[in-house]
Chain A
Amino acid sequence: MAARQPFTDSDTADEAVRATCDDATICKRFATSKSYWKDPYIQYFVRSVGERKAPEINRGYYARVQGVNHLLDAFIRKAECDCQVINLGAGLDTTFWRLKDENLMPRKFFEVDFPTVVARKIHYIKTKPPLSKPLIETHSTDSLLLDAHSLDSDRYCIIGADLRDISNLDEKLKKFQLNPELPTLLLSECVLVYMTPAQSSNVVHWAAETFHTAMFINYEQLNMSDRFGQVMIENLQRRQCILAGAEACQSLESQKERFLKTGWEHADALDMMTVYSMLPQHDVGRIERLEFLDEKELLQQLLQHYSICWATKDKLNLGNAQLCYTSI
């Protein structure tokens, strides 16, 4: 029997995608070190603050983190914490720990990512008490269910899985007590764009089929067909990172469409420049004074090429379709 090729094209592409989790974490680590926002946990995932990042990158991550958190927190409050959160492609995200500190924990917080990423995260959690303590504190028994690619506790569960194999994902989530009856928030940040439109369509369709009251927040690229988009795609290609799902990133309309045509009732989308302008302006003013911005136009261009799209289903009539940024 022929041995499997050690590194096929798709392996390389997947590896490049996994590497993006480090990019995000490193950039967030730098931005938080400069006080753009507080994240006392990220230092346990990447110790050194690392090389200086340009101010537009820091402001961009600020907009992303604040933008996503605003919707996420609003949903949890609306459901009065009687809900679930599933972070798809979570990487080394620290949201669970933030929600615990802010007393805004859902009934259960699920994270999904490639097995190798999950294994790394589990290692960090196991070896850093500030990360493991909150899990242990919120767990009813003395021992957590732990193996190489998954960790399960009462309030937090992390699963190694490939999002392109949706039935496998579904099975694993249900094994760890995913409750389809609970209002559920699904979150993906720069995840769907790395799979083909067909594969990402499966993901959002599965979510619509599985949950009757839910919100799906998707943060990713936008307006990819212009010059800026081309430059970005070329840069990523040089790192063997393929944006297989760039098609859905054409416009706000196409971002909403992918949800509306897979069973979601309602969808909204905004580009990050708009989101940035709708964030609490006193804090925006504060972060704008942290570092001098070389060229406003470039920041605008950058932000106009990312979007947040949020889709909702509301059988329980929570009013989650009304959640948006003007409620700040």
Chain B
Amino acid sequence: EGAAQCDVCFSDKDYENAIKYYSEALEVNPSNAIYYSNRSLAYLRTECYGYALADATKALEIDKNYIKGYYRRATSNMALGKFKAALKDYETVVRVRPNDKDAKMKYQECNKIVKQKAFERAIASDEIKKSVVDSLDIESMTIEDDYEGPKLEDGKVTLRFMKEMMDWFKDQKKLHRKCAYQILVQVKDVLSKLPSLVEITLKETEKITICGDTHGQYYDLLNIFKLNGLPSETNPYLFNGDFVDRGSFSLEVILTLFGFKLLYPDHFYLLRGNHETDNMNQMYGFEGEVKAKYTAQMFQLFSEVFQWLPLAQCINSKVLVMHGGLFSEDGVTLDDLRKIDRNRQPPDSGPMCDLLWSDPQPQNGRSVSKRGVSCQFGPDVTERFLEQNKLDFVVRSHEVKAEGYEVTHSGKCITVFSAPNYCDQMGNKGAYIHLRGSDLKPEFHQFTAVPHPNVKPMAYANTLMQMGMM
């Protein structure tokens, strides 16, 4: 009768009572595996995972062929986060019941989690992994006599070096790997000393030029410098991420930008985009390009350097710049951004992810992003964020725009995109923004694509070739 009563309790979901009744039943009949197993279930439902595990274990001690016992124990272990232990028990069930689809499914689900955890552990340990820098001996790299290209002067980037390098690249020639490594090691050092939120002040008489995505379109970058002047102490620039991938001159773009960062560290700014990450580089061409022109080791170093790029920049405490956009949740402050530990690949969610991935939307509220990550945020989200942080507007990039820029959210969210005729296909204009310290009113300048040597976009990734075959 005790048992019958217990079963009624389960269907009534009255787990507390079930525990009581099974405990009483066990006092009378202590070697009943089923009672232990059922009480284990009741404990699971009431989140007493330790007790649940103990009862499941007891059930199996009494009857090692009691399949439900393995299930209960596996579930308890899952709840306690002991996935490997759970997997062992699911394995047992699958072995004993090879045709049981449910058992197989549970095994596979658990297996997926075990693998994922192992993967996460591997990534975590990557952070204390040795840097490529430690295994490089740049000093002993020799530059051959017949190399006619640019070299750093006394190990430093100078204006002369930059001009020579830009011409060298324009003629599609390769920078000596020693120089590339020198630049990378030095810029990694500079970037690592910056905060995740860079804060600058533009004086009344000063102005800054903000550029959006450039995506390996080197010849269009040269055109920006032609139209707007080379970077200098009196002509500061901020490049808002996505310097590489898609366009096939990503190396030329990034080495040029890194070179200027070294030359004018307090007047030339770089922010991280979602393409300054391993995943994107693997798929959209940069990794392939670096491996083709240099080595895998150099790509590793690029990856490390990208991790140190700051995530956002605040100008005169009024204008906030980031590559993607605002946040999946309200209440994020500038102080939160300062505190982000950015030396990593971006997580799947959270402020660091949003900064690199989100997009504005016309309607209020937030929506799930079609990108599969982060969110889309409406004018009300922008309004609240700006108010809370005492800002005037945000400038971001991340999305191609036909006119090269777009003003949305009543002027509070501006998009700027600097890769014209994106992928040789979109036919869009590029744009950049002039921001003066005197009034902080954005002034837009548009430009169109210039010709480039016949290296098709995504030459180093297979995607465009696949596009014809769909």
Contacts and interface: CB of A to CB of B under 8 A. Distances in A.
A190 B470 CA distance: 7
B372 A290 contact: yes
B284 A54 contact: yes
Interface string B354-380: 000101000000001111110000000
A263 interface: no
Contacts of B465: 235, 239
A102 interface: no
A298 B398 CA distance: 12
Interface centre among A27, A60, A301 (most CB of B within 10 A): A301
B469 A23 contact: yes
A236 B424 CA distance: 16
Interface string A285-315: 1001111111111100110001000000000
A55 interface: yes
Contacts of B464: 231, 235
Contacts of A232: 467-468
A270 to B, nearest CB: 16
B17 interface: no
A269 to B, nearest CB: 17
A49 interface: no
B463 interface: yes
Interface size class of B (residues with CB under 8 A): 35 or more
A295 B469 CA distance: 20
B324 to A, nearest CB: 11
A283 interface: no
B466 A296 contact: no
A147 interface: no
Contact of A27 (B279, B283, B466): B466
B18 to A, nearest CB: 35
A235 B463 CA distance: 11
A294 B284 contact: yes
A296 to B, nearest CB: 5
A231 B470 contact: no
Interface in B403-450: 422-427
B466 A57 contact: yes
Contacts of B58: none
Interface string A231-254: 111011001010000000000000
Nearest to A20: B469
A56 B469 contact: no
Contact of B372 (A53, A233, A239, A288): A288
Interface in B261-310: 274-275, 279-280, 282-284
Contact of B463 (A53, A227, A228, A241): A53
Secondary structure call for the A interface: helix
Nearest to B464: A235
A297 B426 contact: yes
A51 B372 CA distance: 21
B215 to A, nearest CB: 9
A29 interface: no
A64 interface: yes
A47 interface: no
B463 A57 contact: yes
Contacts of A231: 424-425, 464
Contacts of A175: none
B400 A297 contact: yes
B461 interface: yes
Interface residues of A, number: 39
B220 interface: no
A174 interface: no
Contact of A55 (B372, B462, B470): B372
Given A288-B370, A294-B280, A296-B371, A53 B462 contact: yes
A42 B429 CA distance: 43
Contact of B399 (A227, A295, A302): A295
Given A23-B469, A236-B468, A293 B371 contact: yes
A29 to B, nearest CB: 13
B466 A298 contact: no
Contacts of B275: 294
A301 B464 CA distance: 12
A295 B372 CA distance: 11
Nearest to B461: A54
Given A53-B462, A53-B463, A190-B470, A292 B357 contact: yes
B425 A61 contact: no
B468 A301 contact: no
A52 interface: yes
B462 A51 contact: yes
Interface in A92-149: none
A24 interface: yes
A267 to B, nearest CB: 22
A285 B368 contact: yes
Nearest to A27: B466
B469 A27 contact: yes
A53 B466 contact: yes
A292 B279 contact: yes
B469 A190 contact: yes
Nearest to A234: B456
A52 B282 contact: yes
Contacts of B370: 288, 293, 296
Contacts of A227: 425-427
Given A291-B372, A296-B370, A301-B425, 4 more contacts: A24-B469, A53-B466, A241-B468, A295-B400
Q: Which 7 residue pairs of A and B lie closest in terms of their CB atoms, listed nearest first?
A: A23-B469, A54-B463, A292-B373, A293-B371, A288-B372, A236-B468, A232-B468
30 contacts: A27-B470, A51-B462, A53-B466, A54-B463, A55-B283, A56-B463, A57-B463, A57-B466, A57-B467, A60-B470, A64-B470, A190-B470, A231-B464, A232-B467, A232-B468, A235-B464, A235-B468, A239-B468, A285-B368, A288-B369, A291-B372, A292-B274, A292-B372, A293-B370, A293-B371, A294-B280, A294-B284, A295-B400, A296-B370, A298-B423
